[in-house]
């Protein structure tokens, strides 16, 4: 079940490329994952299981980026304090 969850997360909330530039760092990627779980009504797996799955699915030289999706909005709003 967890393996399917990681595949669903990667499909729904990220896209890949090999170009250097602005991509998700470790904290942001895990934060996006936990936001995706919240929005999707799923329980997040342990962080070590997440990183193992990501290493199995993302090749060397590939970079993950955040898609425009409900999980991204949730992550961004939860990550940054109000400006007011």
What are the structural domain ranges in the chain?
2-79
Check residue 65 and give its pLDDT: 92
Note if the pTM is more than 0.85.
Answer: yes
List the structure tokens of 5. 């969850």
Distance CA 27, CA 37 (A): 15
> Do the Cβ atoms of 32 and 71 come closer than 8 Å?
yes
Residues 23-76 have pLDDT tens digits of 888 899 999 999 999 999 999 999 999 999 999 999 888 899 999 999 999 998
The reported pLDDT for the residue numbered 69 is: 92
């Amino acid at each position: 079940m967890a393996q399917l969850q990681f595949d669903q997360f990667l499909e729904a909330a990220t896209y890949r490329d090999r170009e250097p530039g602005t991509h998700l760092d470790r904290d942001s990627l895990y934060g996006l994952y936990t936001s995706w779980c919240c929005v999707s009504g799923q329980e997040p797996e342990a962080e070590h299981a997440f990183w193992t799955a990501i290493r199995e699915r993302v090749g060397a030289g590939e970079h993950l980026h955040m898609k425009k999706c409900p999980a991204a909005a949730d992550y961004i709003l939860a990550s940054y304090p109000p400006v007011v």
